[in-house]
Structure 1
Amino acid sequence: MKIFQPMLFVGLGGTGGLVGAELERKLRAELCGPDGVALSHLSGHAPYQLPDCLQFVYADYSESDLQRLPQFNVDPSLRAAYSRTSRATHNLLPNFDASPELTKMLRASLRDEVADWLPPRIDEPKVTPLHNGAGQLPTVGRAALFATLRHSLAPVLEPLLQAIDAIAKSAGELAELGGGKVNGCDVFVAFSVAGGTGAGIFLDYLHLINHAFQLRRFDGVKIYPLVVMPSSFSSAGGGGREAELNAARALVDLFRLVDAQNAPSEGTEIGDLDLDSGLGIRYPGTTPIRLRTGILPTAFLFSPTAGIRQDDLRRSIVSLVMSLIGTELGDSRPRGRATATDDDFQTFAASFINRGVHRSAVSPTGIGRQGVSTSLVASMTAPMDQLADLVAGRLLREAVTDLVERPRTALRDNAVPLIRQLFADSHLEELWERKQLDLPEPDPLPRGGKAIEQALGERIADMQRLLSDLQSLADRQAASMADRFAPRPAIDKLLQTVDPFLAERIVRGVPGSDEPIARLGFLGMLDSRSRAPQRPPGVTDQPPKTPRIKGRLAGMSPARWGDDDVQAALQEQDLWYQWRSRTVWHEAWREQQQQWQPPAATAGADLGRLVNAFRKHSDQERKISQQKGLELYEDRTGISYLLPPQRTLNHFYEDVVTRLIRREGMRENDDEAALLLRMIDGDTWREVHTLSRRNPDNAVAVVKAQLEGRITRLFAESGEHLEERPLLPAMGTLLAAAAGDADAADQVSKEALDLFGRKLTGLLPVGFTPEGTGPLRVLVTHPRVQAVEEVQEYLGKALRLPSDAKNSVEYRGVESDSVTVVLFRSEMSLTQVPEARKVLRQWARAKDSEQAQDVLRWRQRLGYRDSWMVSSEEDRRVILHRLLCCMWNGQVDVVDGDPASPERLRLRLHPEKGAHVPGVRLRLGDFPGGVSSWAELLRSYERWTVLDDERTVEDYCSQLMGAQPLGLARSASEPHPLFVELVEKTAPRQLELLAERRERGGERVEGWVRPLWEFWAKTLPAALDTEFGDQRAVQPTLRTLLEHVRGGTPAPRVRKEFPEPRRAVPDDDDWGTAPRASFDKYPSDTEERPRRASVDDYDDGYDADRADRGDRVDRSDRSDRGERGDRVNGRSGAADRSSVPWDEPGDPGPYGDDGERERPRRNPWDGDPE
C-alpha cells in the first residue's frame, strides 16, 4: 500500500477508539508486513512503527477504554514504536467525582462561557462517578471538557499539536511511501452520536482541531467527521431511546455547522459590531474560536444495513479511510457527469468527496442546506492475517503436544552431558565433581604383612587428616559457589541449542528415565548435592579396619602391595574415603541452601511457566481456532473474504505444512514438531524465555507471530515444482486473470478463479446502499494491473452496483491487495436521511411528552432554550417568505377557524383551485383570547416536513419553496385579501396584544410571549423584506411589491427595531449560590425589561402607507451583519437574542393565569399532503 497525503485520525469516545484501533491494525498489516519490518528502511523504523505522516489522537473520559488502545496492549518493547504515531489524551476529566459538583463550579467560575448552554439546577441529573463516562448525557460531557479547559486549552491541544508537528516533518517518509510534497492533510474525526462523550465533545474538538492547525500555519486541511448512528447499537449496548434523543440534537448542531461552512455569510464591515459574524465557541481566556471557511465540507453518517454487525460497520468505516488515503490524486476516469480536474484539490479525498458537489443550495424543504453525506463501504480481501493465525496456531499446538508428550531421543542420549553443562555454566563445576584430596601412595611400596598393615593404617590416618582439610576447603568453595550461582544465564545458554520443552525435562528431570541423573534433572541434582550421599554397601561411618595380611605360600613368600587381599583392603578404604569426601561436599552445600535454593527454584519456575504457557495455548487452541474458522467462513455484510480454494481448512492446513517442510529442506516424513524446531532458532527461544518472566502469554505470541510471518510469506510464493501455484494467489493476479489475461490465468487454478468470480459478484448484497435520497457516487479501488480498461469493464459487469450509481462510478488502481467499493451519497439535508428523520421524530415525541429520564435539556451543546427541531432563524425567514408568496397568490385556504387565527390551513401547490389541485394541510391549533395561531405556521410546517414519512414530501416542499408572486417580472398581480389582512391587520394587533400581555403578566408569561413576539416582530418583518431571487422582479421584496401594486412609490426608510421581550429573572438560576428551596420556577434572562411597544412602533414595521421615515436599511446588508442567527457558544452575538422554547417547564399559563394551561393539540403534528 502507498500513502499519498498525510492523515490525522481523531477518535472520540469509545466508538472513536474502536474505529481508530481497527484502522491502526489494518495500516500496520498493509504497511509493516506480517513480521512488522517492511518499513525498517525508513530512517531505521522500529518493527510495527507506522510512518509519521499517519497520526492518531484519542480522547475519552474513560481511562479504562483508553487502556484498550493498541499502544497499551502490545509487548512493552513495541510501545515506543506505537506511541510515536498514537497519542491518548489523558486527564481529560476534571477532578470532580460527580456532575453536580462540576456544574456548580462552572456556574460560579465560567458564567459567561456556559450561561447559554448549561441548564439550571432544577431536575439536574447526577452522573457519578465521572471517570466511567458522561452517563450518556452530552451536556455533562461538554461541561466536563469546559471544566478541564478552564485554565488552558493545553490538555486538548498538546497531543494534537504533537501529531501535527510530526506530520509537518514527514515529507521525506511520505515521498518514500509514494506521495508528493505535503500540501494538505485529511483529518478524520470518528465518534458516535449515541453516547455522552463523543456526542458531548465533538463540536468542541472540531473547532480545536482547526485551531491547532491554524497555530501551526498548516494549510490545505479538510476535516471529515465519521458519525456512527444510534441504530448501530443494541439497546443493551448504548442504543435505544436515549441514544436517539442524543443523536437528534447532535445532528442538528453538526449540520448547522456544515451549512455555515458551505454557505458562509460575511458582512462588508469589520470592527466593533453588534453581531459577530460566523459561528464560534468561546473558551475561558480566549477569543471565540471559529472554523476556517471550507474546512468542514460535509460529515459522513454511517447506519447499518440489514445483517451488518457492529465490527463490520467499523471495518466499513476503516475501508473508507484506507481507500481515500491510499488512492493517488491524478487523472481519474469518471463515467457520467463532467467533473473538475483533480488539480483543483489538495488530496484525493478532497477531490472525490467535494468534486462536482453542490452543498450550498437550500434543501427542498427550505430547512438547512445539502451538506449531509452517508456512506457504506464493501471490501473483498484475502484474509492472510487470519489464515496465517489459524495455521500457525494449529501448527504450534500439534508441535507442542508432540514435544511435551513424546519421548525424545536427544533426551536419552544427551541428558547427562547437558545437566553437567548446566552445572558448569552455573559456576557449580566443583559441586558436580566433588573432588577428594589426593591421597599419597607409599613410596617405596611396602613388602611383608606387617609393613603393609602399617601402611594401610597410616593410609587411613592420612584419609582422616585429608577429610579434615577437605572440610575447610569445601566450606569455602560452597560459599563461593552459592554466591556465584546463576542458573538463569545457564538455562538461557542451554536454550541456544535445545528447545524449552527439552530444556524443562533436563532442568526438572524425567521421572521415567533409567538414568538416575536424568531422572533427577538439574534441580534434582542440586537438591541431591545437599543431602547425605547414598552410603555404599558395607560402608560405615567409621573407617574400615585394617585386615591381617598374610604372606603367600604359607608364609614362605612375603606379602606384596599388589596382592588381591591388599587391593581389596585398598578398595574398601577408597570407597569409604570417596563417600566421606562426598559427604563433606554435601554438608558444605547444605549449609548454603538458603542462598542457592531461591534462585534455583525461580529458574525452574521461569522455565516451567514458559512451557505451561505453551501447554495452555495448546489446550485452548482447538476451541479458539474452531470459533475463528466459523467466523472466517460466516456470511457477512460489507466484508467478503477470498478464502483458499481448498474445500476445508484442514486440507489447506495440510497443504501449507507440506509446502513449508519442502521449503525448509526437511524430509517428507518430518512432522510439525521438527518443523517448529527448524523455524524457531535458539535466539528466539532465549528471547521468549526472558519475556515469559513478565508475561508468559506474550512469549507464546512472539513464537506464533514468527510462524505467522513465515506462513504469510509462503502464501504468495510458488512451489518448487512447476505445477505448484501460490497457495493464496494475489488479488491482482486473480483480477487480471478474470479480465482475460492469459499469463495471469496460468498462475491461478480454475477453482481459485471461480471462487474469486463468485465472491466478487456477491460483494454487494441487495439493499446495500447508503441511506438517503441524494445522488450516489461510487469509488472502486482495485489492485493496480496492466490491463486497466479490461479490468474496469470486468468489474463493471461483475459488481452489482446500485442502479442509481451506474453513471457515476470511478475506478482507481491502488497498491493494495483488495477490491473496495465506496458508496457515497451526498447533497442531502437531514430530513432526506431516514435515520435522521427517525431520531428527530423521537425528539419531537419526547418534547410533546417528556419522561423523567429524558432530561432533554442535558442532551444538547449550544442552547437548552432552542425549541425548534431543525430550522434556524434564517431557515424560518426564507420559509415564511415563500409561504407569504403562496398567500399572495391565493394558494392558502383557511379550512377551519377565523382567518385572523385559523385552526387548519390548506397550502395549494399551484394557484388553481379545486379538489384536483395537490396541497398540504397544516393544523395550527386553537388559540383563544385574541392570540393568533398564525405564529404557529412555521412550527407546524417544520413538524410536517420532519415527521411525515411520505416520499412526496420533498416534491411538495420544492413546489412551495419555489413560490413567488404571479406576474412578478411584469406588473405583478393583486395580493390575496388573506395576505393583506395578515400583514396589515392581524400583525399589528398581535404585537400590541402581546405587549399588553407582557405588561399585565410580567415575568410569569415571558416564556410564552417570547416565541410569539419573535414571529411577529422579527421573522415576519424579515420575510416581508427578503428579496426575490428573480432579477427581473418589478420590486425586490413583498413589502415594496405591496406598495407598488397599490400605485405608490416605495420610499426609503429606516425601520425601527422592536424592543425585545426580556426573560424573567429566574429564581433557580442562582449559579449554585442559593438554597434549593428557592428553585421553583424556570429560568429566564436577566436583562432589563423593555418599554411596552406601542401601536406606532408596530406600524413602523408593517404600515406600507406611512409617510417617509428615512433611509431604509437594505435587508441583505442586515443579513450580512449576522441576522441569520450567527452564534457564539450557541447564542447570538448580542446577549439578548437567545430564543425561548415554546413550552418550557414551569411556565405560567399563556395568559398569565398559573392555573390555566394551553389546551392540548389534537395531533402532535398534522401535515397532510393531499
Structure 2
Amino acid sequence: MKIYQPMLFVGLGGTGGRIGSELERSLRRELCGPDGTRLVDGGRRAPFQLPDCLQFVYADFSEAELTRQPQFHAKGPEGGAYARTSRMVRDLLPGEFESSPEVTQMLRIALHEETRDWLPSQVRQPRVAPLHNGAGQLPTVGRAALFATLRSGLEPVLRPLRAAIGAIGNSAGDLQQVGGSRIRGCDVFVAFSVAGGTGAGIFYDFIHLIGHEFRKSKVPGVKIYPLVVMPSAFPPEAGGGREAELNAARSLVDLSRLVDDQNVPDAQSDVGDVEQRARISVRYPGDTTVALRASTVQTAFLFSKPAVIRTEDLRRSVTAMVMSLIGTELPDDTGNGRADDDYQSFAASFINKSVERSTPARSGIGYRGMSTSLAASLTIPVDDLAEIVAARLLAQAVRGMEERARHPVKDATDQVREMFERSGIGPLWSRAAPDIPEPAQPPRGSKAVTQALHNRRGDMEDALQRLERDLARDVPRLVEEFHPGTAARELLGLTGPFHLERIIAGLPGHPEPVAEAGFTGMLDNRRSEPRRPEHVRQSAPQIPRIKGSAGGLVPARWSDSDVRGAVADQDDWYRWRANGLWHRAWQAGEPQWRPPLARARKEIDELARALRAHEEDEGKLFADRRRELYRDDRKGVSYLLPPQNSLRAFYDDVVTRLVRSEALPENTDPAGLLAALVRPEDWLRALDAVRRSPGAAVKEIKQVVERRVKRLFGEADDARYERPLLPSMALLLRAAAGDEHAAATVDSRWLGQFRSQLAGLLPVGFTPDGSGRLKVLIAHPESESDGRAAEYLAQELYLPPHAAHEFRAVDTDSITVVLFRSGMSLTDISEVRDVLKLWSEARDAAGADDFLHWRQRLGHRDGWLVSTEADRQRILHRVLCAMWNGLIVHEGDDASPDLVRVRLQDGESATLTLRLEAFDGQLSSWAGILRGYERAALLDEGSVIEEFCDRLMRIQPQGLATTPVPPAPLFLTLVEEVAPRELARIEELSGRYGEEDEEWLAPLRHFWARTLPGALDLRFDGASLP
C-alpha cells in the first residue's frame, strides 16, 4: 500500500476509538509487512511503527475504555512504536468533579457568558455519576464536562492535536518513503457516533478545535471529513433505541448547518442561541472564538447499517472506505502538474466534486452538503489466520515441551550445578574446606604414625576454626550476590520454561537425588544440618592403636590399611563438620536469600502456568475463531479463506512448510519447531511480560510465531514451493481475469472460492441510505493487466445500476468497493427523517423523561426542527409567490385560517396541505405556516412530497419577466392588514405577561417582525429588478 498525502484520524468516544483501532491495525498490516519490519529503515523506526504522516488522536471520557485498545495497552518496544503515531487526549474530564450537577453548577458560576446560551437550567437536570464512565447518553452533559476541562484554556485538547499536526508537518521524508511526494494537504477523518453522549456531545467542538490548530500550524489544504455512525448501527442493548435516535436528531441538524455554512459561507445561519456572526463560530473560555476556514468541512459521511450486515461489519466498512481514499493516487492527466486550486488528494477529488452542495435543498430547508457511504472489501485475513496458526502451534508445542520435561535426562545434576554457578553461589555447591596436607615424609613406625594422625586431627580442628571465621565473612557477601533471577533468565532461553521449571523445582522420581530435589531442594539442603554418616561421631575420631604388620616385626607405615582407615574416618568427620559450618552460615542468611529465590521460582512457575492455560483453552478458542472466520452472515467486509477441507488441514500445511522453510528434519514436532523459532531474547520478553499478566507473556511468544507465519505467507513466490500457501489478491485477480500464467500457479480451489466470494461481495440491499447520486469507487490490486482486471470486476461484481463507476489500480492486497452518495440534504436520507420525526413527536409530547434540553450542544431554545432563519425567509418568499398567484386556498377566516392548501398552478389537483395551529390571545395562525411546512417537508415520506417542494421552491409571481399580474386578495390581506395588526396585538399581550410567561410570544414576534419582512425583501431569481 502507498500513502500519497498525510492523514490525521481523530476517534471520539467508544465508536471512534474502535474504528481507529481497526484502521491502525489495517494500516500496520499493509504498510509494515507481515513481521512489521518493512519500514524499519535501518533501525530508524521500530517494528510496526507507522510513518509520521499518519497520525491518530483519541478522546473519550472513559479512559479505561481507551486503554483497552491495543495501541494504548502495548508495552515495551511495541508500545513505543505505537506512541509515535497514536495519542490520547488525557484528562478530558475535570478531575475535581464526580457528577454532572457539580460540573453544571461550576459552569454557571465560572463560565456564565460562555455557556448561558446552551446550558439548560437546573430544573429537573439529570444526574450522571461517575463521569469517568461516560456522559450517560446525554450530549449536553458531555459538552459541559468538556467546557469544565477547558475552563483554564484549550491546552488539554490542543496539546495532543498540536503534537500530531507537528509530526505531520515534519513528515515529508516519511511521506516520500511510502509513495507520496511533497505535502500538499492533509485529510482529517473525525469518527464518532451520534447515538451516545460522548461523541455526540463533543464532536462539534473537536471539529472546530482541529481546524483551529491546523490554521495556527499553517498546514495547507486541510479537509475535515466527519465519519458519523448512525443509531441504526446499535441494537437497544448496546446503546441504541429511543435515546440514541433523539441524540442523533439534534446532532445531525447541528452538523448539517455547519456543513452548509462551510459550503455557502455568506449564508446567514442561526445556530441555536449562539452569537450571530458572519460565519458559524464557537466561543470558548478565555474569550477565545474559533471559526473554521470556509470549505474545510464540505460534507459529512453518514453510515447507516443495512439489515444485511452487523455492527462490527459496519465499522470495518468505515475502515475500508478510509483505506481506499488515502491509498489511491490523485491522477495528473495533463502531465503538467496541478494548479493551485486543484484537489490536494484523491479523497478531496473523489468526495468534493459535488457542485450541488451550495444549492438549496429541494425542500428549501438547508443545502445539499450531506453524504452517505458504505464500503465492501474482499481480503485475505492474514492476521487472523496467522494468529490462529500461532496459537495452535504454541499449544501443541507446550504439550510437547511439558512431556519432555517429565522425562529424566542424564545431565540433570549438571544443570542444577549450573544453576548454582549462574546464581553467583558456586562455592555453596562445592562447600570447599581448607586442604589438610599429607605428611611431607610418610612416617614409619607405630609411634610416628600415631603422632602424625594426632597432628592431622589437630590440623583439621584448626582448619575448621579458620573456615568458620572465613564463612562468617564470605557467606554474607555470597548471600548478597545471590541472583537466582539472573540464572533463570540465562537458562530460560537454553532450556525452555518447562525444563527450567523442573531444574528449579526438581523432578519427582528422578534416579539422581540432586535432580529429584532440584535447585530449590538443594538450597534447602544447604540450609539444613548435613546428614551425618553412621560411623561419624560429633567429636573427632579417636586415634586407633597402630601396630606394625607381621606381629610387630614390620614397622607401621602410612600406607597400611588400618592407617588409611583412620585417615578416611578423619576425612569423613572433617567433611561433615565443614559442610555443617557451610550450612549454618547459609541458614543464617535465609531471610535475605529466600525472597529472591521465591521471586525467581514464581516468575518461572507463572510463565509455565500461563502457557499451560493457553494450551488448555486453545481448543475452544480455535473453534470460536474458526466459527467467526467462516460465519455465513459476514457482509461488507468479506474474507477469502483457505479452501482446504478444514482449518485444521490448513494448519497442518503451514506447519509442514514451516519445518521445510527452517531446514529442520521432517519428523520435527511442534516443540522442536518452536525451539527453532523462538530465540532466548523472546523468552526473556515473555518472562518480563508475565509480571503484567499471564496473557501478556503468552502474547509475546505467540507474536514471534505469528510474525514468522506471516513471513511464510509472504514466501509465495519462493522457488522452493510449487504454489503459494496464501496467494496474493493480485495473483488471484489476474488468474480469474484470464491470465494463464497466473492461473497455473494458483490452486483451482482458491480460484473457485475467489470467484464465489467476489460474486457475493455486494449483497442485495447493500447501498448507502439516501436519494443522492451514487458514485462507486472500485480499488483493486495493480498488475500488468489493469484494464482486463477492471473489465472482469465490472462483469462479476453486483454493481448498482445507474451509478458512476471509477476503477483504480492501487498498491493493495484487497478489492474494495466504496459506494458514495452526495449532494443531499437531511430530508434526502431516510434514517435522518425518522429520527427527526421522533424528535418532533417527543417535543410535542413534552415528556420530561426524554430530557430533550440535555440532548443538544448549541442551544435548547431553538424550536425549529432543521430550518434556519435564512431557510424560513426563502421558503416564505416562495409561499408568498404562490399566494400572489392565487394558488393558496384555505379553510377558516382569512386572517387566521385552520388549514391551507398550496397548489403549483391553476387547475392542478395535487396540493400541499398544511394544518396551522391556533394561538391564544386571538393571534393569527398564519405565524405557524412555516412550522406546518417544515413538518410536512421533513417528515412526510415519498418522492411526491419532495417533487412538490422542489417545484414550489422555484415558483415566481406570474408575469414577472413581462407584465406583472396583480396580487391575489389573500396576499394583500396578509401583508397589508394582518401583519401590522399582529405586531400591535403581540406588543399589547407582552405588556400583560411577565418575562417568563411571554416566552411563547417571542417566535410569533420574530415571524412578523423579521421573517415576513425578510421574505418580502428577497430578490426574485433571474429578475433584473427586485
* Structure 1 unpaired stretches of 5+: 268-273, 334-339, 1037-1170
Distance in 2, Cα, partners of 1:654 & 1:177: 36
Q: Tell me the SS of whatever aligns to 1:321.
A: helix
Distance in 2, Cα, partners of 1:891 & 1:412: 103
CA 150–721 in structure 1, closer or farther in 2 if over 3 Å, else same: closer
Q: Tell me the SS of whatever aligns to 1:776.
A: strand
- Aligned equivalent of 1:205: 206
Distance in 2, Cα, partners of 1:136 & 1:718: 50
**AA partner of residue 991 (structure 1):** L
Q: Could you tell me whether the CA contact under 8 Å between 1:75 and 1:698 is conserved in 2?
A: no
Q: Tell me the SS of whatever aligns to 2:715.
A: coil
> What percentage of aligned pairs have identical amino acids?
53
Q: Could you tell me whether the CA contact under 8 Å between 1:342 and 1:348 is conserved in 2?
A: no
- Aligned equivalent of 1:543: 540
Q: Tell me the SS of whatever aligns to 2:495.
A: coil
Q: Tell me the alpha carbon deviations over residues 367-388 of structure 1, each in whole angstroms, 9 at most, x when there is no partner.
A: 1111110111111111111100
Matches within 5 A, 1:107-118: 107-118=108-119
Q: Tell me the SS of whatever aligns to 1:344.
A: coil
Distance in 1, Cα, partners of 2:2 & 2:740: 28
Distance in 2, Cα, partners of 1:280 & 1:49: 37
Structure 1 residue 128 and structure 2 residue 129: aligned?
A: yes
- Of the three residues 837, 841, 845, the one matched with 2:837 is 841
- Aligned equivalent of 1:284: 285
Q: Tell me the SS of whatever aligns to 1:373.
A: strand
- Of the three residues 590, 593, 612, the one matched with 2:609 is 612
Offset of 1:86 from its aligned partner?
A: 1.8
Offset of 1:537 from its aligned partner?
A: 3.4
Distance in 2, Cα, partners of 1:528 & 1:127: 62
Distance in 2, Cα, partners of 1:1006 & 1:514: 100
- Aligned equivalent of 1:671: 669
Q: Could you tell me whether the CA contact under 8 Å between 1:901 and 1:927 is conserved in 2?
A: no
Q: Tell me the alpha carbon deviations over residues 1021-1049 of structure 1, each in whole angstroms, 9 at most, x when there is no partner.
A: 222222211337xx53xxxxxxxxxxxxx
CA-based RMSD of the aligned residues comes to 2.4
- Aligned equivalent of 1:731: 729
Structure 1 residue 891 and structure 2 residue 887: aligned?
A: yes
Structure 1 residue 476 and structure 2 residue 477: aligned?
A: no
CA 114–451 in structure 1, closer or farther in 2 if over 3 Å, else same: closer
- Of the three residues 857, 866, 874, the one matched with 1:861 is 857
CA 582–761 in structure 1, closer or farther in 2 if over 3 Å, else same: same
Matches within 5 A, 1:258-657: 258-265=259-266, 276-286=277-287, 288-331=289-332, 344-407=342-405, 412-449=409-446, 451-635=448-632, 636-657=634-655
- Of the three residues 939, 950, 955, the one matched with 1:958 is 950
- Aligned equivalent of 2:67: 67
Distance in 2, Cα, partners of 1:901 & 1:43: 80
Q: Tell me the SS of whatever aligns to 2:253.
A: helix
Q: Tell me the SS of whatever aligns to 2:494.
A: coil
Offset of 1:451 from its aligned partner?
A: 4.5
Q: Could you tell me whether the CA contact under 8 Å between 1:203 and 1:254 is conserved in 2?
A: yes
CA 680–152 in structure 1, closer or farther in 2 if over 3 Å, else same: same
Q: Tell me the alpha carbon deviations over residues 988-1013 of structure 1, each in whole angstroms, 9 at most, x when there is no partner.
A: 33233333333444646522322222
Structure 1 residue 1007 and structure 2 residue 999: aligned?
A: yes
Distance in 2, Cα, partners of 1:422 & 1:1031: 98
- Aligned equivalent of 2:271: none
Offset of 1:316 from its aligned partner?
A: 1.3
Q: Tell me the SS of whatever aligns to 1:224.
A: strand
- Aligned equivalent of 2:821: 825
Q: Could you tell me whether the CA contact under 8 Å between 2:56 and 2:164 is conserved in 1?
A: yes
Distance in 2, Cα, partners of 1:370 & 1:739: 40
Offset of 1:973 from its aligned partner?
A: 2.9
Q: Could you tell me whether the CA contact under 8 Å between 2:35 and 2:711 is conserved in 1?
A: no
- Aligned equivalent of 1:30: 30
Offset of 1:818 from its aligned partner?
A: 0.8
Q: Could you tell me whether the CA contact under 8 Å between 1:249 and 1:859 is conserved in 2?
A: yes
Matches within 5 A, 1:162-173: 162-173=163-174
Q: Tell me the SS of whatever aligns to 1:529.
A: helix
CA 213–723 in structure 1, closer or farther in 2 if over 3 Å, else same: closer
Q: Could you tell me whether the CA contact under 8 Å between 2:143 and 2:202 is conserved in 1?
A: yes
TM-score (norm 2): 0.95
- Of the three residues 906, 911, 920, the one matched with 1:911 is 906
Offset of 1:593 from its aligned partner?
A: 2.2
CA 842–814 in structure 1, closer or farther in 2 if over 3 Å, else same: same
CA 342–21 in structure 1, closer or farther in 2 if over 3 Å, else same: farther
Offset of 1:591 from its aligned partner?
A: 2.4
Q: Could you tell me whether the CA contact under 8 Å between 1:900 and 1:932 is conserved in 2?
A: yes
Q: Could you tell me whether the CA contact under 8 Å between 1:4 and 1:178 is conserved in 2?
A: yes
- Of the three residues 980, 983, 997, the one matched with 1:991 is 983
Distance in 1, Cα, partners of 2:153 & 2:929: 45
Q: Could you tell me whether the CA contact under 8 Å between 1:659 and 1:719 is conserved in 2?
A: no
Distance in 2, Cα, partners of 1:972 & 1:42: 80
Offset of 1:596 from its aligned partner?
A: 2.1
**AA partner of residue 722 (structure 2):** E
Offset of 1:691 from its aligned partner?
A: 3.8
- Of the three residues 700, 703, 709, the one matched with 2:698 is 700
Offset of 1:760 from its aligned partner?
A: 0.9
Q: Could you tell me whether the CA contact under 8 Å between 1:89 and 1:155 is conserved in 2?
A: yes
- Aligned equivalent of 2:781: 783
* Structure 2 unpaired stretches of 5+: 269-274
Distance in 2, Cα, partners of 1:863 & 1:885: 32
Distance in 2, Cα, partners of 1:216 & 1:33: 32
TM-score (norm 1): 0.83
Offset of 1:79 from its aligned partner?
A: 2.8
Q: Could you tell me whether the CA contact under 8 Å between 2:354 and 2:823 is conserved in 1?
A: no
- Aligned equivalent of 2:140: 139
Q: Could you tell me whether the CA contact under 8 Å between 1:382 and 1:641 is conserved in 2?
A: yes
**AA partner of residue 149 (structure 2):** T
Q: Tell me the alpha carbon deviations over residues 197-236 of structure 1, each in whole angstroms, 9 at most, x when there is no partner.
A: 2212211221221111111122211111111112222223
**AA partner of residue 730 (structure 1):** S
Offset of 1:266 from its aligned partner?
A: 7.2
- Aligned equivalent of 2:965: 973
Q: Could you tell me whether the CA contact under 8 Å between 2:379 and 2:638 is conserved in 1?
A: yes
CA 377–1017 in structure 1, closer or farther in 2 if over 3 Å, else same: same
Distance in 2, Cα, partners of 1:287 & 1:427: 65
Q: Which has the larger Rg?
A: 1
Distance in 1, Cα, partners of 2:672 & 2:199: 52
- Of the three residues 1011, 1020, 1024, the one matched with 1:1019 is 1011
Greater CA drift, 842-851 or 10-19: 10-19
CA 507–54 in structure 1, closer or farther in 2 if over 3 Å, else same: same
Structure 1 residue 874 and structure 2 residue 875: aligned?
A: no
Q: Could you tell me whether the CA contact under 8 Å between 1:330 and 1:342 is conserved in 2?
A: no
Q: Tell me the alpha carbon deviations over residues 165-187 of structure 1, each in whole angstroms, 9 at most, x when there is no partner.
A: 11111111111111011111111
Distance in 2, Cα, partners of 1:214 & 1:1020: 39
- Aligned equivalent of 2:98: 97
CA 1007–174 in structure 1, closer or farther in 2 if over 3 Å, else same: same
Distance in 1, Cα, partners of 2:247 & 2:594: 63
More helix by share: 2
Offset of 1:848 from its aligned partner?
A: 1.0
Q: Tell me the alpha carbon deviations over residues 106-159 of structure 1, each in whole angstroms, 9 at most, x when there is no partner.
A: 333333322222222222223333333322222222222223323322222222
Offset of 1:441 from its aligned partner?
A: 2.5
Offset of 1:550 from its aligned partner?
A: 4.4
Offset of 1:645 from its aligned partner?
A: 1.8
- Aligned equivalent of 1:1082: none
Distance in 2, Cα, partners of 1:878 & 1:164: 41
Matches within 5 A, 1:34-49: 34-41=34-41, 44-49=44-49
- Of the three residues 890, 896, 901, the one matched with 2:896 is 901
Distance in 1, Cα, partners of 2:383 & 2:367: 44
**AA partner of residue 328 (structure 1):** E
**AA partner of residue 64 (structure 1):** A
Q: Tell me the SS of whatever aligns to 2:290.
A: coil
Q: Tell me the SS of whatever aligns to 1:1018.
A: helix
Q: Tell me the SS of whatever aligns to 2:356.
A: coil
Q: Could you tell me whether the CA contact under 8 Å between 2:267 and 2:870 is conserved in 1?
A: no
Q: Tell me the alpha carbon deviations over residues 768-821 of structure 1, each in whole angstroms, 9 at most, x when there is no partner.
A: 01100111111111111110110000111111112232xx11111121111111
